[in-house]
Amino acid sequence: MRNSVSQVTDITYIRIHEGWLYLAVVIDLFSRLVVGWPMKSRITTDLVLDALLMALLRRNPKNKVLIHSDQGSQYTSHEWQTFLKHHNLESSMSRRGNCHDNAVAESFFQLLKRERIKKKIYLSRDEAKSDIFEYIEMFYNSKRRHGSIGQCSPLEYEMTHQQMAKYV
C-alpha cells in the first residue's frame, strides 16, 4: 500500500478564552488522513515531535517516509533533524515564505477553521481539544469527502486501496 510514503506537517493556532492553543498535524498525502495531531498551550519543538511520534505509532512505516514542512524554527531545530534521522525519515522543506508548498496542510487548517471553529472562542483548552479531536477523528478522517481522492473520506480511500492490494 502506498500510504505513509509522503506526509506533510504544519502548525496552526486556535483562539481560546485563556489565550491560544497550538495544533500540529501530520497528514498522509496518499489518503489525506490526519495521522498525528497533538495540541499544546505552547508552540515548541516538542509539539511537532509529538505529532510525528503519533504518526509513527499509528502508521509504523517499514520504509523511509518523506516528511514535508515549512521552515519554521521547530522544523529546523537540531531535535527535529535528529528525530528524523533516528526514525528513517527524510526531511523536505518549503521555500521560505511560500505557503503554497504546504498546500495540503494549509487546506486542512482552512477546513477545520471554516467547518468547526468558525469565529468560536473556546472557554478552555480542554473544550477546544475535545472539539478538535471530534472533528478530526469523527468527521474529517472518517466522513469528510475529498475531490482529490475520488470523493471518498480518507479512511474509505485507504480501505478501498487495502482491499484492492489483496487482489494484486
Predicted local distance difference test score (pLDDT) of residue 95: 65
The sign of the CA dihedral 52, 54, 125, 46 is negative
Domains of the chain: 6-166 (3.30.420.10)
* Bridge pairing between strands 65-69 and 19-28: unpaired
List of residues 6+ apart from 115 with CB closer than 8 A: 135, 139
pLDDT band at 168 (very low <50, low <70, confident <90, very high): low
| Share of residues in the chain with pLDDT > 70 (%) | 92
Gyration radius of the chain's alpha carbons:
16
Cα 25 to Cα 47: distance, rounded to the nearest angstrom: 9
Q: Among 78, 117, 108, which residue's Cα sits nearest to residue 9? A: 108
What is the per-residue pLDDT across 119-167, written as a single tens digit (0 to 9) for each? Answer: 788 999 999 999 999 999 999 999 999 999 999 999 999 999 888 777 6
**The pTM of the whole model exceeds 0.85:** yes
**Contact by Cβ (8 Å): 36, 43:** no
Q: Measure CA 116 to chain center.
A: 16
Name the 3-class secondary structure at 39.
strand
- Cell numbers at 157, concatenated: 480511500
Judged against a pLDDT cut of 60, whether residue 12 lies above it is answered with yes
